């Protein structure tokens, strides 16, 4: 390892964190955008470097200030963390690169540097969660990213974003507080905050009530932040009213990062310690996952607004991710992690296409989409590719996670396994319906009024959207990256040798 | 040319063709149609060039990429797929000639999109025909569904979009809801999905579950239109007639029965399936579909809808033959794929020619049309006779083999079904033929018409001729398909 490689885990956080205040003084706004995009791209390169290390199978540890764990702050990046870092930095870079025109349209140029600064804080905060190996640092970064993301969501021109963001703020704060209470209790019982250290020390106090209560607080708190059904109510409006570029970033990774913490806590820290952990974990989360898939998809079937439709679809997709994890088996957890990556690709491409549409259309109601395919054929084609991936049509990334999910359900076996397959399949078919509603509106519905603008989205935005759509196909035909990272990550979570 | 190259070319030619057709469409219709014909001809050259390999008993294959561990995109030549590829590519050329006449004659919109998607559909068909494992098969099966959607929804008005929704809905629900779990289940059970002579499931699954898995495959492959999965086929008749002719009489529907036959032969293995009682239901389902579809066809007033229900019945002949699980019946199934393709494409061509020339779509309007359109109606008559199974048409040959297979299996249900269905087929086709030739023409004055455009008449004459020719020249096909099953049937060599 060269010297710079060893510092990658900390650089992942430090680079955006340091640039964030600098961006606020950059004028004109184009310069701030360029600096933010460049920083985001650098973060992506760091994530790629960390992924390369993770693909070799080792956990990259870093002691901040060279203070040894458990006294100092420890950072650790494993395959699971690397997978999510890729999603995070990739989504951020794509959204920024594509989003210039859309942001110029939505945010007045004087306020843009502040917006970009908040963006970098979100990036730093979420990356911080993913690299931390310390329960309290996770909380700190969670707060940084949450507060900054409230700013992102409220940054758009839509006044309705304010109540949406207030709801998000309330629920997000409750979630974070629950998490804090949980780790407070755990700290009380074990005297440590380092995750690995907690696991070692928890053995002695495993069955005691404060630990059980702590687990309850942590699970519910993180479930709230991850928009696990029925704690998802903040999500649809938050995604809907956020500036379009911010939606791309948040939809691709915000909820998944909380799921990362939840899974890490449950599998790495608690599972080896608590004998009854697995059945409880599965029995609690699997029904929520199933309900989430079915209920949220059903809402999406009737949702008249494109962005809200996709937001409800996200709630359903979080259900798939949880469903795999709640099987507590190697194929199940692998499917879960793969779906994090695949869903980010699909939803990223879809929201990028939505951003393209939004630059040219009066609104994102399906009625206003009538005839859009004639005017913006390339955008709608990219939307269809993303949609097919979301449905899980073979040849797209979404298919590989469906394949793993169904295989994992088959291994569950019995009537329960078939029931799960039924749920997965029903969810996919509902996705066909809600995606096809958009397709039919765009291709076959006759527009009510003659369109004022008859042209495609800006070239840069469109090409980035197509890059994302093409990634869905590439990783559908050659899913080596997410398969390797997900199966290594799942083995690590379940405590098996990679 | 190495056979591996040939396989890949068979997939690439229609895709590249689609691109070229799309580009040529910007220049002008003549260049675009030339490009379509050139692509179709090239595809025939590529596909038929692979025939010597397969007759020599070679089974060349090529693996493109391994998607997931043990799951790859791979292609392999084998008799059944080769037959399907030859059939689809051959009829595509004839159909393209017909399309030119039809689409221009009816002044259809969006013709470039039409030819491009047709070419993409053919690429998907080639993928299905040459697939070496279940995953690849499923991949192209879905691609075919999606690629044909714009063709079905071609007209774009409300009624068409609604029908196209039924089309896509039934096919996707079945394939994701039933076929995909079946495919994954097979991979989990057998550890592989490679098509292997003799099957891969023997000893891996037992008892009623075999019947369940078979049901997932049969109903999942909704393109085969085994009732109640047939609903999409009448709905798909809103498409322009060339689409109905090539796709809904040949490529798409044959993809369905092809999948079923291929799975019975290469995944279950006929001997394994014959020994398991729980697989017996398929014969009943197919027999029911044949009879029910024929009865519904009796009551149709619209020509294309009648042909659609006839197709549903004829497809289940193939399913029934495959489900008989005896070597001669499997040969009969494959022969019937070809025989029915020739006959039914002729019938659809005729229906489209009538529409182009006269805008007539209902049976009652066909009275006396034989005098106005003698070529078309002669071809129609030949096609209809082939559906009934009267010699000297291709339909007779396949019926012969299916019946022989039924005797091998001592399956009297199959015998009774085929006899009853022959009677029903005659009952709905013969009155049309009689009426067309001998009825009094009541075309109102001012709407007189003659034959359809030359390209359309040429195409339907060729396919009618093929229907007749197949009666006499089926030996190479039977020889080829006999390689499918062992022991090689020798009883019928004299036919």
SS (HEC) of chain A:
CCHHHHCHHHHHHHHHHHHHHHHCCCCCHHHHHHHHHHHHHHHHHHHHHHHHHHHCCCCEEEEHHHCCCCCCCEEEECHHHHHHHHHHHHHHHHHHHHHHHHHHHHCCHHHHHHHHHHHHHHHHHHHHHHHECEHHHHHHHHHHHHHHHHHHHHCCCCCCHHHHHHHHHHHHHHHHHHHHHHHHHHHHHHCCCEHHHHHHHHHHHCCCHHHHHHHHHHHHHHHHHCCCCCCCCCHHHHHHHCCHHHHHHHHHHHHHHHHHHHHHHHHHHHCCCCCCHHHHHHHHHHHHHHHHHHHHHHHHHHCCEHHHHHHHHHHHHHHHHHHHHHCCCHHHHHHHHHHHHHHHHHHHHHHHHHHHHHHHCCCCEHHHHCCHHHHCHHHHHHHHHHHHHHHCCCCCHHHHHHHHHHHHHHHHCHHHHHHHHHHHHHHHHHHHHHHHHHHHHHHHCCCCCCCCCCCCCCHHHHHHHHHHHHHHHHHHHCCHHHHHHHHHHHHHHCCCCC
A391 touching chain B per CB within 8 A: yes
d(CA A102, CA A100): 6
Contacts of B73 in chain A (CB under 8 A): 477
Q: A403–B156: do the CB atoms touch at under 8 Å? A: no
What does each of the 495 residues of chain B score in pLDDT, given as a tens digit?
788 888 899 999 999 999 999 888 888 888 888 989 999 999 999 998 888 888 887 888 888 888 888 888 999 988 888 889 999 998 899 888 888 888 888 888 788 888 999 899 999 999 999 999 999 999 999 999 999 998 888 888 888 888 898 999 999 999 999 999 999 999 988 888 889 888 888 888 888 888 899 999 999 999 988 888 888 888 888 888 888 888 877 888 999 999 999 999 899 888 888 888 888 888 899 999 999 999 999 988 888 899 999 999 999 999 998 888 888 888 888 889 999 999 999 999 899 888 888 888 888 888 888 888 888 999 999 999 999 988 888 889 988 888 888 888 888 888 899 999 999 999 989 999 998 888 887 777 777 778 878 888 888 999 999 999 988 888 888 888 887 776 444 444 433
A436 touching chain B per CB within 8 A: yes
Contacts of B177 in chain A (CB under 8 A): 425-426, 429
d(CA A300, CA A318): 14
**B297 burial type by CB count under 10 A (0-12 exposed, 13-18 middle, 19+ buried):** buried
Q: A395–B142: do the CB atoms touch at under 8 Å? A: yes
Q: B188–A407: do the CB atoms touch at under 8 Å? A: yes
Position A85 scores a pLDDT of 95
Burial pattern A457-469, b for ≥16 Cβ within 10 A else e, equals bbeebbebbbbbb
Contacts of B188 in chain A (CB under 8 A): 407, 410-411
A400 touching chain B per CB within 8 A: yes
For residue A237, CA distances in Å to A163, A173, A315, B279 come to 9, 17, 12, 52
Give the residue from chain A lying closest to B160, CA to CA: A444
Torsion of CA A448, A453, A454, A455, to 10 degrees: -140
Contacts of B143 in chain A (CB under 8 A): 395
ipTM at complex level: 0.84
B153 touching chain A per CB within 8 A: yes
Position A450 scores a pLDDT of 65
- Out of B143, B156, B184, the one facing A407 most closely (by C-beta) is B184
A98 touching chain B per CB within 8 A: no
As beta bridge partners, residue B362 has B302
A417 touching chain B per CB within 8 A: no
For residue B201, CA distances in Å to B263, B265, B276 come to 10, 11, 12
d(CA A98, CA B356): 49
CB-CB neighbours of A157 under 10 Å: 11
B228 touching chain A per CB within 8 A: no
B contact residues 53-72, partner A, Cβ 8 Å cutoff: 65, 67-69, 71
B277 touching chain A per CB within 8 A: no
Contacts of B173 in chain A (CB under 8 A): 429, 432
d(CA B42, CA B44): 5
Residues listed for chain A: 498
Residues listed for chain B: 495
CA nearest neighbour of B64 among B55, B73, B56:
B73
Give the residue from chain A lying closest to B141, CA to CA: A394
As beta bridge partners, residue A194 has A134
Q: B187–A407: do the CB atoms touch at under 8 Å? A: yes
d(CA B273, CA B277): 8
Contacts of A440 in chain B (CB under 8 A): 161, 165
Q: B139–A394: do the CB atoms touch at under 8 Å? A: yes
Contacts of A477 in chain B (CB under 8 A): 65, 67, 73
Tokens of A356: 């393209």
Please identify which residue in the block is written with the tokens 């990774």.
Answer: A253
**B148 burial type by CB count under 10 A (0-12 exposed, 13-18 middle, 19+ buried):** buried
CB-CB neighbours of A286 under 10 Å: 21
A430 touching chain B per CB within 8 A: no
d(CA A110, CA A108): 6
Give the residue from chain B lying closest to A443, CA to CA: B156
**A455 burial type by CB count under 10 A (0-12 exposed, 13-18 middle, 19+ buried):** exposed
* Contact between residue B127 and residue B81 where contact means Cβ atoms under 8 Å apart: no
- Measured distance between the N- and C-terminal CA atoms of chain A, rounded to whole angstroms: 21
Q: A436–B165: do the CB atoms touch at under 8 Å? A: yes
Q: A440–B73: do the CB atoms touch at under 8 Å? A: no
Kindly calculate the radius of gyration of chain B based on its CA atoms and give it in whole angstroms. 21
Give how far the C-alpha of residue A284 lies from the chain's centroid of Cα atoms, to the nearest Å.
22
Please identify which residue in the block is written with the tokens 């093929």.
Answer: B466
Give the residue from chain A lying closest to B136, CA to CA: A394
Q: How many CB pairs under 8 A join A and B?
A: 62
Contacts of B138 in chain A (CB under 8 A): 394
d(CA A147, CA B214): 55
Please identify which residue in the block is written with the tokens 């079946």.
Answer: B182
For residue B269, CA distances in Å to B74, B92, B130, B136, B263 come to 20, 31, 19, 19, 8
Q: B180–A425: do the CB atoms touch at under 8 Å? A: yes
Q: B173–A388: do the CB atoms touch at under 8 Å? A: no
- Out of B156, B173, B181, the one facing A406 most closely (by C-beta) is B181
Could you state, in order of their start, the residue ranges of all structural domains in chain A?
277-498
d(CA A168, CA A129): 19
Give the residue from chain B lying closest to A407, CA to CA: B184
B135 touching chain A per CB within 8 A: yes
Question: Which residue out of B11, B22, B136, B142 would a mutagenesis test of the A interface target, given it has the greatest number of A Cβ atoms within 10 Å?
Answer: B142
Q: B173–A429: do the CB atoms touch at under 8 Å? A: yes
User: How far off is chain A from B108, nearest CA to CA, in Å?
Assistant: 17
Tokens of B118: 């047709």
How open is the CA angle B110-B111-B115, to the nearest 5 degrees?
125
- The DSSP symbol for B62 reads E
Position A452 scores a pLDDT of 61
B187 touching chain A per CB within 8 A: yes
Coil/strand/helix, residue B323: helix
Percent of chain A residues topping a pLDDT of 90: 61
A428 touching chain B per CB within 8 A: yes
User: How far off is chain A from B220, nearest CA to CA, in Å?
Assistant: 13
In sequence order, which ranges of B359-441 are alpha helices (DSSP H)? 369-372, 374-388, 394-409, 412-438
A437 touching chain B per CB within 8 A: no
B180 touching chain A per CB within 8 A: yes
As beta bridge partners, residue A305 has A365
As beta bridge partners, residue B74 has B63
For residue A333, CA distances in Å to A84, A325, A392, B66 come to 15, 5, 18, 22
The set of residues, in sequence order, having a beta carbon less than 8 Å from that of A325 and lying 6+ positions away, is A259, A263, A285, A332, A333, A336
d(CA B284, CA B290): 10
B212 touching chain A per CB within 8 A: no
Tokens of A209: 């009530």
pLDDT one-digit tens code per residue, B452-495: 788 888 889 999 999 999 888 888 888 888 877 764 444 444 33
Question: Which residue out of B11, B71, B136, B184 would a mutagenesis test of the A interface target, given it has the greatest number of A Cβ atoms within 10 Å?
Answer: B184
- Out of A410, A426, A479, the one facing B67 most closely (by C-beta) is A479
CA nearest neighbour of A288 among A222, A339, A242, A348:
A222
Report residues of chain A scoring pLDDT below 50. 1
A474 touching chain B per CB within 8 A: no
pLDDT one-digit tens code per residue, A210-220: 888 998 999 99
- Out of B65, B153, B185, the one facing A477 most closely (by C-beta) is B65
**A422 burial type by CB count under 10 A (0-12 exposed, 13-18 middle, 19+ buried):** middle
Give the residue from chain A lying closest to B209, CA to CA: A414
d(CA B460, CA A116): 66
């Amino acid at each position: 390892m060269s010297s710079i490689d060893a510092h990658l885990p900390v650089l992942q956080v430090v680079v955006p964190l340091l640039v964030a205040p600098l961006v606020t003084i950059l004028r004109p706004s184009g310069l701030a955008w360029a600096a933010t995009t460049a920083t985001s791209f650098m973060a992506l390169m760091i994530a790629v470097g960390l992924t390369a290390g993770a693909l070799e199978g080792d956990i990259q540890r870093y002691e901040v200030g060279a203070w040894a764990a458990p006294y100092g702050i420890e950072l650790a990046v494993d395959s699971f963390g690397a997978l999510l870092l890729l999603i995070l930095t990739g989504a951020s870079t794509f959204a920024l690169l594509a989003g210039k025109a859309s942001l110029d349209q939505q945010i007045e140029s004087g306020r843009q540097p502040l917006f970009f600064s908040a963006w970098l804080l979100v990036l730093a905060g979420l990356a911080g969660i993913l690299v931390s190996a310390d329960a309290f640092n996770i909380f700190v970064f969670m707060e940084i990213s949450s507060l900054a993301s409230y700013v992102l969501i409220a940054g758009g021109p839509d006044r309705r974003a304010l109540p949406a963001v207030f709801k998000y703020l309330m629920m997000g704060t409750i979630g974070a507080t629950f998490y804090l209470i949980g780790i407070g209790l755990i700290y009380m019982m074990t005297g440590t905050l380092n995750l690995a250290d907690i696991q070692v020390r928890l053995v002695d106090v495993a069955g005691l009530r404060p630990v059980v209560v702590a687990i309850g607080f942590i699970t519910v708190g993180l479930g709230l932040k991850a928009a696990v059904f029925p704690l998802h109510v903040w999500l649809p409006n938050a995604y809907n009213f956020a500036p379009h570029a911010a939606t791309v970033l948040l939809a691709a990774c915000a909820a998944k990062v909380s799921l990362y913490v939840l899974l890490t806590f449950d599998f790495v820290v608690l599972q080896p310690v608590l004998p009854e952990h697995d059945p409880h974990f599965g029995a609690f989360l699997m029904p929520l996952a199933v309900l989430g898939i079915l209920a949220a998809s059903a809402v999406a079937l009737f949702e008249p607004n494109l962005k809200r439709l996709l937001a409800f679809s996200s709630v359903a997709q979080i259900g798939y991710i949880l469903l795999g994890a709640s099987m507590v088996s190697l194929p199940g957890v692998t499917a879960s992690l793969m779906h994090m990556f695949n869903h980010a690709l699909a939803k990223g491409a879809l929201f990028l296409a939505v951003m393209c549409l939004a630059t040219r259309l009066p609104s994102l109601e399906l009625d206003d989409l009538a005839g859009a395919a004639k005017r913006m054929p390339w955008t709608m084609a990219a939307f269809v590719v993303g949609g097919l991936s979301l449905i899980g049509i073979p040849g797209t990334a979404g298919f590989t996670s469906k394949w793993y999910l169904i295989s994992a359900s088959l291994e569950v076996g019995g009537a329960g396994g078939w029931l799960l397959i039924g749920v997965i399949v029903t969810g996919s078919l509902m996705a066909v319906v809600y995606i096809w509603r958009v397709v039919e509106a765009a291709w076959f519905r006759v527009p009510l009024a003659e369109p004022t603008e008859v042209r495609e989205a800006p070239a840069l935005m469109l090409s980035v959207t197509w890059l994302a759509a093409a990634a869905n196909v590439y990783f559908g035909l050659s899913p080596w990256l997410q398969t390797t990272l997900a199966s290594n990550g799942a083995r690590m979570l379940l405590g098996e040798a990679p | 040319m190495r056979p591996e190259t040939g396989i890949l070319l068979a997939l690439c030619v229609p895709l590249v063709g689609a691109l070229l057709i799309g580009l040529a469409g910007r220049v002008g219709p003549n260049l675009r149609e030339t490009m379509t014909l050139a692509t179709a001809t090239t595809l025939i050259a590529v596909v038929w060039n692979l025939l010597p390999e397969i007759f020599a008993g070679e089974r060349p294959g090529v693996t493109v990429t391994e998607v997931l561990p043990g799951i790859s995109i791979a292609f392999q030549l084998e008799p059944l797929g080769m037959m399907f590829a030859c059939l689809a590519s051959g009829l595509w050329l004839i159909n393209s000639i017909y399309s030119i006449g039809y689409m221009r004659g009816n002044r259809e919109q969006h013709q470039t999109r039409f030819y491009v998607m047709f070419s993409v559909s053919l690429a998907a068909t080639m993928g299905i025909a040459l697939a070496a494992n279940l995953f690849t098969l499923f991949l192209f099966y879905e691609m075919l569904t999606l690629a044909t959607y714009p063709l079905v929804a071609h007209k774009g008005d409300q009624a068409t979009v609604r029908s196209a929704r039924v089309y896509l809905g039934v096919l996707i629900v079945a394939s994701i809801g039933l076929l995909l779990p079946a495919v994954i289940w097979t991979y989990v059970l057998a550890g592989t999905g490679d098509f292997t002579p003799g099957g891969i499931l023997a000893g891996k699954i037992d008892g009623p579950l075999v019947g369940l898995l078979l049901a997932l495959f049969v109903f999942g492959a909704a393109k085969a239109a085994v009732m109640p999965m047939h609903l999409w086929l009448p709905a798909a008749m809103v498409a322009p007639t060339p689409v109905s002719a090539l796709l809904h009489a040949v490529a798409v529907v044959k993809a369905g029965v092809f999948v079923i036959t291929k799975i019975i032969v290469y995944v279950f293995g006929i001997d394994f399936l014959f020994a398991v009682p729980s697989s017996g239901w398929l014969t009943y389902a197919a027999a029911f579909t044949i009879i029910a579809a024929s009865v519904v066809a009796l009551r149709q007033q619209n020509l294309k809808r009648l042909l659609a229900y006839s197709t549903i019945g004829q497809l289940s002949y193939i399913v029934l033959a495959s489900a008989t699980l005896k070597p001669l019946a499997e040969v009969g199934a494959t022969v019937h794929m070809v025989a029915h393709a020739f006959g039914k494409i002729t019938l659809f061509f005729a229906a489209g020619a009538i529409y182009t020339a006269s805008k007539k779509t209902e049976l009652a309007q066909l009275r006396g049309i034989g005098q106005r359109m003698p070529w078309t109606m002669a071809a129609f008559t030949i096609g209809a006779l082939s559906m009934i199974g009267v010699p000297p048409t291709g339909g007779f040959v396949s019926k012969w083999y299916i019946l022989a297979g039924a005797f091998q299996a001592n399956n009297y249900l199959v015998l009774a079904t085929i006899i009853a269905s022959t009677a029903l087929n005659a009952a709905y086709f013969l009155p049309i033929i009689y009426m067309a030739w001998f009825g009094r023409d009541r075309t109102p004055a001012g709407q007189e018409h003659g034959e359809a455009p030359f390209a359309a008449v040429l195409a339907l004459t060729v396919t009618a001729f093929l229907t007749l020719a197949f009666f006499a020249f089926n030996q190479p096909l039977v020889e080829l398909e006999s390689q499918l099953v062992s022991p090689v049937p020798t009883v019928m060599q004299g036919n």
